[in-house]
Amino acid sequence: EAGVAQSPRYKIIEKRQSVAFWCNPISGHATLYWYQQILGQGPKLLIQFQNNGVVDDSQLPKDRFSAERLKGVDSTLKIQPAKLEDSAVYLCASSSHLAGGPPGELFFGEGSRLTVL
**Which residues are at the interface with other proteins (CB under 8 A)?**
33, 40-45, 48, 55-56, 58, 91, 99-103, 105-106, 108-111
Q: Which is nearer to other proteins, 25 or 43 (CB)?
A: 43
- Least separation in angstroms between CB 81 and other proteins: 27
- Least separation in angstroms between CB 100 and other proteins: 6
- How would you write 29-55 as a 3-class SS string? CCEEEEEEECCCCCCEEEEEEECCEEE
Distances (CA, A) of 91 to 49, 75, 100, 112, 114: 14, 12, 22, 7, 11
Q: Which is nearer to other proteins, 29 or 81 (CB)?
A: 29
65 half-sphere exposure, CB direction, 13 A CA radius? 19
- Least separation in angstroms between CB 16 and other proteins: 28
User: Using CA atoms, how far apart are residues 107 and 88, in angstroms rounded to an integer?
Assistant: 19
Q: Which is nearer to other proteins, 64 or 113 (CB)?
A: 113
- Least separation in angstroms between CB 102 and other proteins: 5
User: Using CA atoms, how far apart are residues 110 and 117, in angstroms rounded to an integer?
Assistant: 22
Q: Which is nearer to other proteins, 80 or 103 (CB)?
A: 103
